[in-house]
Amino acid sequence: MTDNNATLAVLITMPHSHYCEKARWALDRLSLPYREEPHVPLLHRLATMRNGGRSVPVLIYGSGRFIDSTGILSHANAVCGGDLLYPCDSALRNEVEALEACFDEELGPHARRWAYAQLLPERRLLRQVMSRGVPRFEAALLPLIMPGVVRLVRTGLRITPESACRSIGRVHGVFNDVSERLGDGRQFLAGGRFTAADLTFAALAAPVLFPAEYRAAYPALDQIPAVMRDEVLRLRDTDAGRFALRLFLQERDRRLVGEARHGLGV
C-alpha cells in the first residue's frame, strides 16, 4: 500500500528483487501502510547503508530499522498481534521458521544466481527492469553505470556457467522437497493455513516461475531467452511450481488486517 503521508514507513527496494517482494507481500497482506522507495542496483547502497543496512529490503519507520526480509515479516506479524504470518504455537512456529530459513538461504540465492546468469547478457531488457519506478536521475545514470552493475553482480554472486548450472540444480532440489511435502494433499506447507513459510517460498521462487501477480519488476515470459523460458516452464509443471503460482493467484491480494486498526508500531 502506498501513500504520500510523510509519516508512513518507507520500504527501500530494488525494483526486481524477490526478497523485496517477500517484504512487500507481508506488508500488503497485513494492511500496514508504507511508501516504497526503489533504487537501481549499486545506487541502492546509498539508501540502505545510511539506514544501517547493506542490501535490500530495508524498512524504516521513525527510529526503527529492519534490515532484512525476515526481520520485516517478524515485526509486521508482531505489531498486528501475532498468529498471522507466524503461528503462536511454539512447535508450529519453529516449523514455519525452519522452512522460511531454508528458503531464504537455499532457494532465494540460487534462484537469483540462475536468473541473473540468464538475464545479464540482455542489457536492454535488464535496464528496463532495473529502472522501473526509480528516481529519474538514477534511471538516467543507469546506462552509464550498467557495466559496473553487471560486473558487480557477476563477481558478487560468483556467476559462471558452471555455478548457474549448479544453482538451478539446487532450485530443483528445493522444489522436489516442497513437492514431496505437498504429496499428502495439504494446501499449505505448515499448520493448515497460509504462513510466512508459504509466502517466502512463493516470493523467492518467483524469478524461476514468472507469476503474473508478481509485484517486482520482471520481463514478460515471451521476452526472455528461450533457454530460460523452457526452464521456467519445466519448473511451473511441478507440484511445487503449481503451488507457488496458486499462492500468487489466490493469496497475493488477500488482506487480513484492517488498515485503520494498525500502524507499524515503532
- pLDDT for residue 81: 94
Phi, psi of 109 (to 5 degrees): -65, -40
Burial profile 196-218: b = 16 or more Cβ within 10 angstroms, e = fewer: bbbbbbbbbbbbbbbbeebbbbb
User: Domain residues for 168?
Assistant: 8-266
Cα(74)–Cα(196) distance, rounded to whole angstroms?
A: 9
Domain assignment of residue 3, yes or no: no
What is the tens place of the pLDDT at every residue in 176-214? 999 999 999 999 999 999 999 999 999 999 999 999 999
Q: Is residue 82 very low, low, confident or very high in pLDDT (cuts 50, 70, 90)?
A: very high
Region class of 62: left (phi > 0), else alpha (psi between -120 and 50), else beta: left
Per-residue confidence (pLDDT) for residue 256, from 0 to 100 = 86
Per-residue exposure over 90-107, b if at least 16 CB sit within 10 Å of its own CB, e if not: eeebebbbebbebbbebb
User: Mind listing the pLDDT tens digit for each residue in 7-42?
Assistant: 789 999 999 999 999 999 999 999 999 999 999 999
On the question of pLDDT at 69 being above 50, the answer is yes
Q: Would 136 be classed as within a structural domain?
A: yes
Q: What is the pLDDT of residue 2?
A: 43
Q: Quick check: 156 pLDDT over 60?
A: yes
pLDDT digits (tens, 9 = 90+) for 43-65: 999 999 999 998 999 999 888 99
Tell me: pLDDT of 110 over 90.
yes
Mean pLDDT of the chain: 94
Q: Is the pLDDT of residue 3 over 60?
A: no
Cα distance between residue 107 and residue 75, in whole Å: 23
Q: Is residue 153 domain-resident?
A: yes
Q: What are 233-265's pLDDT values in tens digits?
A: 999 999 999 999 999 999 999 998 654 345 666
Total count of domains within the chain: 1
Least Cα distance to 9 among 63, 54, 55 occurs for: 63
Name beta bridge partners: 9. 34
Q: What is the CATH number of the domain that holds 15?
A: 1.20.1050.130
In degrees and rounded to multiples of 5, residue 45 shows phi and psi of -65, -25
Residues above pLDDT 90, as percent of the chain: 91
- The answer to whether residue 170 is domain-embedded is yes
For residue 2, tell me if it sits in a domain.
Answer: no
Instruction: Give the separation between CA 220 and CA 177, rounded to whole angstroms.
Output: 28
pLDDT attached to residue 184: 98
Residue 66 belongs to a domain: yes
* 266 found inside a domain: yes
CA distance 245 to 202: 7
**Is residue 1 included in any domain, yes or no?**
no
In contact, 147 and 127? CB cutoff 8 Å:
no
Contact between 176 and 240 (Cβ < 8 Å): yes
